[in-house]
Amino acid sequence: MYLLGEQPAYADQLVNRLQSIPAQLLAGLEPIGPALRFEQSRDLAGKLPGDQLFLIESGLLHARVDDRPLFYLQEGDLLGLRQGIDLPACRYSSDEPLSLMPYSRHAVFQHIYADQGRQELFLQYLLGHTALLSDAVARLKQPDIRTANGFRNVSSGEALINQGDEADHVFIILDGHAEAFVDGQKVGDVQKDEIFGAMAVFTNEKRSATVVASRASSVMVIPKDQFLSLMQGSPKIAHGLIESMARRIDLLNKEVTQLRVPKTED
């Protein structure tokens, strides 16, 4: 997905990554028929079955919401996720030949939910699109709200979250690395593509750790209300994310326990 108009440079890397995710999600799942091909279309939605999702093999789709051009989809994007959801009508049109590979909508979601890795990839895909649209809205409004939504570039040593702060956002490191500290003691690392800051959002408590960039990094910032709305709409993905966080917490607890065990003299 690309937004119309000027895009920030840091969005290119995210867009490229998002376009690679649908093929990973569908790996191992067979299409339900041959590719659908269209020469041109002024309103594609009326021509596609509502019980299917489509991987764009080639071509470009222009999307209009409330008859206003907003974004376009291209090769590698997934079409049809908006179906069955009470959202403003989105009209897709194409001025060039288009090829769509059809998949059963039900089978796709079963395939995703059956695997923890695919669940987390799907979560990244949805959050990534949310962040792109949030950033576009922020750029249309006052500049001072841009730092709260979309993306941040941080330098080495800069704190992303501070222990004791209110939990207003969830974060994903798009590029770089960070470290987590509790009461000044390092308790873990935050790797590229890792989601962090979600636990305090779920529990509605203050931040339990400080996270500091250990080198220059690019970070996706998801507002709390958008993240919770996504989780409520996808409970199985939320369950998978909670399981992942629980494993990480267990690992950190073991590391802290080992640090506290007194050394014995030989």
Residue 135 covered by a domain: yes
According to the model, what pLDDT value does residue 50 have? 82
| Residues 61 and 92: beta-carbon distance below 8 Å | yes
Residue 160 covered by a domain: yes
According to the model, what pLDDT value does residue 93 have? 85
According to the model, what pLDDT value does residue 205 have? 85
Pick from 53, 79, 114: which residue ends a domain? 114
Q: Which domain holds residue 179?
A: 129-260
Residue 121 covered by a domain: no
According to the model, what pLDDT value does residue 170 have? 87
Summarised one tens digit per residue, pLDDT across range 134-170 is 666 665 554 443 444 577 888 899 999 999 988 888 8
Cα separation, 94 vs 43, in Å, equals 8
CATH number for the domain harbouring residue 136: 2.60.120.10
Q: State how many domains the chain has.
A: 2
86 and 168 housed in the same domain: no
Residue 124 covered by a domain: no
What's the pTM? 0.61
- Partners of residue 220 on adjacent β-strands: 151, 172
According to the model, what pLDDT value does residue 83 have? 63
229 and 150 housed in the same domain: yes
According to the model, what pLDDT value does residue 250 have? 61
192 and 256 housed in the same domain: yes
Q: Tell which phi-psi region holds residue 167, choosing left (phi > 0), alpha (psi between -120 and 50) or beta.
A: beta
106 and 140 housed in the same domain: no
98 and 141 housed in the same domain: no
Cα separation, 41 vs 96, in Å, equals 8
11 and 71 housed in the same domain: yes
* Mean pLDDT score of the chain: 79
57 and 151 housed in the same domain: no
Burial class (CB in 10 A: 0-12, 13-18, 19+), 163: middle
79 and 35 housed in the same domain: yes
* pLDDT, averaged in runs of 10, over the chain (266 residues): 62 80 93 91 81 90 76 86 65 87 93 89 84 65 47 88 89 88 85 82 85 89 80 66 64 59 54
46 and 163 housed in the same domain: no
According to the model, what pLDDT value does residue 25 have? 93
According to the model, what pLDDT value does residue 99 have? 93
